[in-house]
Each structure stands twice: as C-alpha cells, then as structure tokens.
C-alpha cells in the first residue's frame, strides 16, 4: 500500500491551505480589477442579482490564469518562510534531509497543478470565455434602468430629453414636466410641457406609456410640405395626453454561437485547424495577386501560353513612339490622357491596397490564434517557474507571514506582468514572432528560479549585504584592517635601533610618494600617460610588510597593537593603467570606458594618498611609544 512519509505529509499540510488562501485572495484582487474596468457597464442597468452573479462567476473563472501563478509564488514563499522562521527547516536539514527532498512533494503537487492548468486552459476556459464575453456584450447592449431624477435633464431614453421638477414616488407622479422630443431629428424637434404626469411600462416591456395632465406642446412643421408655407409651427393645449415611447427594458442575451467562432472559444485542435485554413486563404490571396500582376501589362511582360513559365519581354507598342504622339497632341488631349492615366493608376492602387488589407487582416487573425494557442502552455510553465522562485526565496529570506512575502511576490509579479504584457503587444502587432513574445517572460524568470534554487540548496547568502561587500572587497582586494597577533615565542631579537631604523626608512619612502604626487588628483591625460609610479609603490609595500614582519616579534605589547593601524597597501592596476605613454593616449581616446576607468582610478589614487598619511601618522606613534618605553627603562 502506498504510504506518504510523515515529513512529506507535514510539508503538504503546511503548503496546501496557504495555496488555497492565497489563490482566493489573488483571484479576488484580479476580479475587483475586472469589475472596476467594466463598472460603467454594470451600473444603472437594473440588472438582476442572478445575472451579475453569473457574470462575476465567469469573470472569476477567466481570471484563473492570472491569479494561479501569483498564488503559487506567494504560497511557496510563505510556506518556506514560515518553516525557516520557526527553525523547522533548519531542524529538517540538520537531520540530513536536503532542500530538494523537502521540496519534492510540493514539486509533484505543482506539476499536477500545472497539468490541470493546461487542461483547464484547453477545455474549460474556451467555454467560459465564450459565455463571459457573450454575457458582457449583452449587458452592454441593455438599456439603462429608468430612473428619472429631480431637477436634472434625463437623456438615457434615445431621442428624448426629460426634465422633472418634483417627484412623488409613493403615488408614482411627476410634476413640472418638460420633454424635448428629438426622435425625428433636431430640426423637427417637439417640446411638451405639462403640470404633472405618470410613467409606466407596457406589458411586453418594449415601450414607455406616459400620461400627461394640463400641458402644451410645440412642434416644428417646416419639414411637412402640406403646411410648410402657412403654418411652420403647431401649438397644442391639452388637458390629458398619452405618449408611447419606444424603450426596450428587457435583458436580451446574444447567441453564443457567434462568439464561439472567435479565437478565445477554441481549444488547441480547433486553433490549429483555423490557423491552417487562414494560412491557405493568405497564400491564395498572394498567389492571386501575383498571377494578376503576371497577366497584366504593367511591366511590359507577356507569356507565350499558360503552360509556359518563362516570360518573354516584348514591345507591346511595336514601333509606336509614345513621346512623339504625346508632344504632337493638343493641351486638352494631353490633359485628358494624363487624368485618365492617373485615374486608372489610382483605381489599380486602391484595388491592390484593399487586397493587401484583407491579407493583413487574415495575418492579424492568424497571430491572435497563435497567441491563444501558446497561452495554453505558458500558464503551466509559469506555475513551475514561480514555485522554483518562491520556495527557495522563502528559505533564503527566512520570513513568514504576510509582510515580506507579499512585498517580494508583488515586485516579482509586477516585473513578470510588465514583461509579459509588453512582449504580448509586440507579438500581437507582428513586430516580434508570436513564440518570442509569449515566452519572453518565462525565459527572463527561468534563470532567476535556477539561481535562487541553486543558492538555497547550497545555503548561500543572497540577501546578506556583508556577503556582497566582501565580494566587492575581493575584487578590489581592499580589507577593513590589518590583523597582527603578538608572538609568544620570539624568533627575532627586536631592539630599539632596529625598529627606529625601519620606521625611518618606511617614513622616507612615504614622504617621497607624497612629494611626487602631492594632494591634487591627476588630470585625464596625465592619468593615462603617467599614473602613479608602480615601482615606488611596490617598494613601499615590500618595506611596509618587512617592517611589520620584523616588529610583530617585539616584546612590547603597545608596539604590536599599533601595527594593526597600518593599512594594507596594494599595487592596483588602476594606479597606472598603461605603461606606454602613446598607448595610454590612444586608449584615452578610443576606449569607451576610459572616463569611468579614470574616475575610479583617481578615486583609488585618493585612497592611496590617505593610506600614506595613515602610515606616517602610525610611524610617529610607534616612535613615540618606543622612546617613551625605553626612556622609562
């Protein structure tokens, strides 16, 4: 019988509830984004709760490809962050279990989720997309709910503007009514003014039945031939008037079959079939255009027969001289010929432009189908990548909860979304190949997942700033301070004269370097031509290290401790980048990085000058210590 190990069961029990929680949170966030984007289509339509619930259900199902990778990233980060923060991960590793073995049950789980995501994208999502977009289009087509406000012109009834001064909702009465009827055009507008009135729908919900009391109507009759000369306007006084206004208040669903033929409603098999069919159409359009160009006389080329494929260039006009005939013609005849030629050329151009537009539309549609086909796979791959980013990153950061993991997850997902959306637009517009645009985000994040996994498996410090500082110091070979320990057994007899002599020698060479280079930095060309004397710097390093090696055997503790104040001098290439002066001038002009190298180089020279000052100050302190101790003796 198959039995799950206790450790694997513990990891799964830790991960799966977090995955469910983060998935619901992420799905809610992206659903709110969708609602905010289409809020104007939902508000003021008088939609039933059932229709809105159905719309939100389909929208939530459509947002799964966006929410699932983010949920996996956040859940894996929180899982391993919690394990690391509670030292459970450390205890498991201490028992001899590697991080890969700890991640193994989750890897299998994510692979199963990725497979399920693929089948969801291929089989479920097309149906959901068809239903969602069909319902959304039906909602957009629905007329707004009839809610005439007080003191404001209401223009949501097509062809009418209605103003109501006061309303009594209990009695369903309106007072101070003004109606502008522009259903027959602004030139044939009619104005109706009434003291009061009531409004209700007909039984079929297709018309508004308006009953007006004690009012007048003004109508423009200029467009009516019978009375246009004598009575341009008509005025009517009424005590009761009934008006029927077209207004469809029903919710009518569009046929889903029209939407199912779109690329969003097809699976991989149907997408491939559509791509092949449209490719044949594009090829046939190109072949037809090419054949028409071959059969035309635009290029003065004719073919011997339909079976002959080798063109034979002939002079269609034989010995007729077109230029002489055009010169001999009258101005009117020339103008006629020119206009006729231009008109024919424009017609031919428009014809081929129309054909090219049709071919481009088919190519655009092919790209949309290819994009939809690649999306079936990118979701599954994104789930794997985000897990291999989140799990190692959680182990490295060592922080659980909803604080740091959310910040890191949001930053990574924003980077992923920006790259994916930008590349998608480039692929959609035909600037990039479809596979390049759809897989760019995965290609960018895959090395990041491999890097984090490698670092986590090897317990490397990724976010430890001291590790990066030490790495930079290794590159530039610069350390904090010198470490010198007092020798318990003295192999060298260190006396006062030997110390003073070596200190004086060291001080002299520091003085030479200070005199030679002063306190000012070298200008650009002097740096590339001369730089600092590396031979003299090498001599300083040799004398300094020799002195420290000699003085550390001293029995005077203050002298040994003072040796740690000496900086570690290095002979950097940046002190003098080029030995040859002519070559240095050439590099200064042609090397693209000559200015950045110069900036770094003069900064390193400044540090060297500071180190010389530190050496001379330490020399003085050691001399004072030696003189004081020997004087006391």
Q: What is the DSSP string of 32-93?
A: HHHHHHTHHHHTTS---HHHHHHHHHHHHHHTHHHHHHHHHHHHHHHHHHHHHHTTHHHHHH
String of b and e for 34-73 (b: at least 16 CB within 10 Å)?
beeeeeebbeebebeeebeeebeebbbbbbbbbbbbbbbb
Please calculate the CA angle 545-549-554 and round it to the nearest 5 degrees. 135
- Across the beta sheet with 153-154, the strand order is 153-154, 160-168, 173-181, 190-201, 207-220, 233-246
* Cβ atoms 247, 208 nearer than 8 A: yes
pLDDT score, position 410: 79
Which residue from 60, 201, 185, 57 is spatially nearest to 143, judged by alpha carbons? 201
Q: Across all residues in the chain, what is the average pLDDT?
A: 77
CB 486 within 8 A of CB 551: no
Q: 473 lies in a domain? A: no
Q: Copy the structure tokens of residue 192.
A: 């109706």
Greater confidence (362 vs 252) lies with 362
Decide which of 325, 349, 371 is a domain's last residue. 371
Asked if the model's pLDDT at residue 383 lies above 80, the reply is: yes
Residue 503 belongs to domain spanning: 496-632
Percent of the chain whose predicted confidence (pLDDT) is above 70 = 79
CA angle (457 as vertex; 452, 458 as ends), nearest 5: 100
**For residue 179, with 0-12 CB atoms within 10 Å meaning exposed, 13-18 middle and 19 or more buried, which class applies?**
buried
364 with 378, same domain: the answer is: no
Q: How far apart are CA 301 and CA 210, in angstroms?
A: 74
Averaged pLDDT, 120-145:
77
Residues 571 and 523 in one domain: yes
Q: Which residue in the block uniquely carries the two structure tokens 């092919």?
A: 366
Provide the pLDDT for residue 223: 52
Query: Does 254 map to a domain?
Result: no
Q: Among 453, 459, 306, which Cα is nearest to 388's? A: 453
Mean pLDDT of 517-527: 75
Residue 471 located in a structural domain:
no
Phi and psi, residue 174, nearest 5°: -125, 145
- Residues whose CB is less than 8 angstroms from the CB of residue 135 and which lie 6 or more positions away in sequence, other chains included: 51, 54, 55, 58, 253
Q: How far apart are the C-alpha atoms of 548 and 502, rounded to whole Å? A: 10
| Four-residue CA torsion sign, 372, 29, 419, 455 | negative
Mean pLDDT lowest among 208-212, 216-220, 246-250, 308-312: 308-312
pLDDT digits (tens, 9 = 90+) for 557-612: 888 888 888 888 877 777 777 777 777 777 766 666 677 777 878 888 888 888 88
Cβ 27 vs Cβ 67: under 8 Å: yes
Single residue among 371, 398, 424 that ends a domain in this structure: 371
Least confident of 21-25, 99-103, 624-628: 624-628
pLDDT-derived band at 111, boundaries 50, 70, 90 = very high
Q: Is there a single domain that holds both residue 506 and residue 625? A: yes
Per-residue pLDDT reduced to its tens digit, 300-344? 545 544 444 455 444 444 566 667 777 777 888 888 888 888 888
Return the percent helix, strand and coil in the chain, to nearest 5.
65, 10, 25
pLDDT of 2 = 45
Share of the chain above pLDDT 90, in %: 2
Whether residue 537 sits in one domain with residue 518: yes
Query: What is the number of domains present in the chain?
Result: 4
* Residue 257, domain member (yes or no): no
- Residue that terminates a domain, selected from 218, 246, 274: 246
Is residue 328 situated within a structural domain?
Answer: yes
Integer Cα distance of 484 and 498 in angstroms: 19
The confidence score (pLDDT) of residue 228 equals 45
Least confident interval from 172-186, 303-317, 482-496? 303-317
Assigned domain for 272 exists:
yes
Strands 173-181 and 301-302: unpaired
Angle between helices 6-37 and 49-62 (to 10 degrees): 120
- Residues 68-80: pLDDT tens digits? 988 898 888 888 8
Q: What does the DSSP assignment read for 281-321?
A: HHHHHHHHHHHHHHHSSTTSEE-S-SS--S-EE--TTTT--
619 with 527, same domain? Answer: yes
Cα angle 276, 282, 285 (rounded to 5 degrees) comes to: 140
For 3-20, the pLDDT digits (tens) are: 567 888 888 888 899 899
Is 220 within the bounds of a domain? yes
Separation CA 135–CA 472 (nearest Å): 59
Residues 511 and 611 both lie in one domain: yes
pLDDT 10s digits, 402-461: 666 677 777 888 888 888 888 888 888 888 888 888 888 888 888 888 888 888 887 766
What are the residues whose beta carbons fall under 8 Å from the beta carbon of 84, sequence distance 6 or more? 90, 394, 395, 397, 398, 399, 400
Q: What is the 3-state secondary structure (H, E, C) of 100-161?
A: HHHHHHHHHHHHHHHHHHHHHHHHHHHHHHHHHHHHHHHHHHCCCCCCCCCCCEECCCCCEE
Residues 133 and 164 in one domain: no
Structure tokens at 151: 């003191």
38: tokens are 């289409």
Q: What is the pLDDT of residue 308?
A: 46
CA 182 vs CA 145, 187, 464, 626: distances in Å: 20, 8, 73, 109
Same domain, residue pair 306 and 179:
no
Are 334 and 390 within one domain?
no
What is the pLDDT, as a whole number, of residue 251?
59
| pLDDT over 50 (residue 287) | yes
Tokens 């189908």 — which residue? 369
101 alpha carbon, distance to own chain's centre: 34
Tell me if 475 is assigned to some domain.
no
Same domain? 400 vs 357: no
Q: Say if CB 376 and CB 268 are below 8 A apart.
A: yes
Say what the pLDDT of residue 305 is: 47
pTM, entire model: 0.57
Specify whether 530 is located in the same domain as 598. yes
512 and 606 part of one domain: yes
């Amino acid at each position: 019988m198959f039995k799950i190990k206790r450790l694997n069961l513990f990891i799964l029990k830790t991960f799966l509830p977090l995955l469910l929680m983060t998935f619901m949170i992420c799905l809610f966030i992206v659903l709110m984004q969708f609602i905010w984007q289409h809020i104007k289509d939902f508000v003021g339509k008088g939609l039933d709760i059932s229709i809105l619930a159905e719309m939100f259900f389909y929208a939530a199902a459509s947002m799964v490809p966006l929410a699932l990778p983010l949920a996996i990233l956040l859940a894996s980060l929180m899982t391993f962050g919690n394990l690391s923060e509670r030292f459970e991960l450390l205890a498991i590793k201490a028992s001899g279990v590697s991080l890969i073995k700890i991640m193994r049950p989750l890897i299998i789980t994510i692979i199963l989720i990725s497979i399920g995501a693929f089948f969801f994208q291929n089989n479920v999502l097309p149906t959901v997309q068809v239903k969602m977009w069909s319902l959304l289009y039906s909602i957009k087509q629905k007329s707004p709910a009839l809610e005439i406000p007080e003191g404001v012109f209401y223009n949501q009834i097509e062809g009418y503007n209605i103003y109501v001064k006061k309303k009594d909702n209990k009695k369903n009465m309106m007072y101070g009514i003004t109606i502008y009827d522009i259903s027959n055009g602004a030139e044939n507008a009619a104005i109706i003014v009434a003291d009061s009135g009531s409004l209700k729908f007909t039984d079929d919900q297709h018309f508004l039945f308006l009953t007006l009391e004690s009012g007048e109507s003004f109508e423009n009759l200029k467009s009516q031939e019978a009375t246009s000369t004598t009575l341009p306007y008509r005025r009517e006084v009424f005590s009761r008037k009934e008006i029927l206004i077209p207004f469809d208040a029903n919710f009518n669903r569009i046929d889903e079959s029209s939407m199912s033929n779109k690329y969003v409603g097809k699976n991989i098999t149907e997408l491939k079939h559509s791509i092949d069919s449209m490719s044949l159409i594009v090829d046939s359009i190109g072949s037809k255009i090419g054949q028409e160009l071959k059969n035309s006389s635009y290029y003065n080329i004719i073919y011997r027969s339909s079976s002959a494929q080798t063109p034979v260039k002939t002079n269609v006009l034989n010995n007729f001289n077109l230029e002489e005939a055009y010169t001999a013609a009258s101005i009117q005849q020339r103008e006629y010929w020119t206009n006729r030629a231009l008109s024919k050329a424009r017609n031919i151009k428009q014809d081929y432009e129309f054909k090219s537009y049709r071919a481009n539309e088919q190519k655009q549609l092919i790209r949309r189908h290819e994009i939809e086909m690649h999306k079936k796979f990118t979701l599954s791959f994104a789930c794997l990548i985000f897990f291999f980013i989140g799990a190692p990153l959680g182990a490295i950061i060592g922080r659980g909860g909803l604080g740091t993991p959310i910040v890191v997850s949001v930053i990574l997902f924003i980077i992923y979304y920006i790259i994916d959306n930008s590349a998608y637009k480039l692929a959609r517009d035909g600037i990039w190949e479809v596979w390049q645009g759809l897989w760019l985000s995965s290609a960018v994040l895959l090395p990041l997942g491999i890097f984090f996994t490698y670092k986590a498996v090897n317990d490397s410090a990724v976010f430890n700033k001291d590790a990066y500082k030490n790495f930079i110091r290794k590159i530039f070979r610069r350390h904090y301070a010198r470490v010198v320990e007092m020798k318990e057994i003295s192999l060298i007899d260190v006396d006062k004269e030997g110390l003073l002599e070596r200190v004086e020698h060291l001080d002299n060479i520091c003085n030479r370097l200070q005199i030679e280079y002063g306190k000012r930095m070298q200008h650009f060309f002097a740096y590339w031509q001369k730089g600092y004397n590396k031979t003299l710097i090498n001599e300083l390093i040799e004398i300094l290290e020799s002195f420290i090696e000699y003085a550390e055997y001293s029995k005077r503790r203050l002298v040994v401790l003072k040796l740690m104040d000496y900086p570690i001098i290095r002979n950097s290439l940046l002190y003098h980048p080029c030995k040859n002066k002519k070559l240095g001038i050439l590099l200064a002009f042609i090397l693209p990085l000559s200015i950045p190298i110069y900036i770094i180089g003069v900064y390193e020279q400044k540090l060297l000058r500071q180190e010389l000052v530190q050496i001379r100050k330490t020399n003085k302190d050691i001399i004072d210590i030696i003189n004081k101790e020997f004087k006391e003796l």
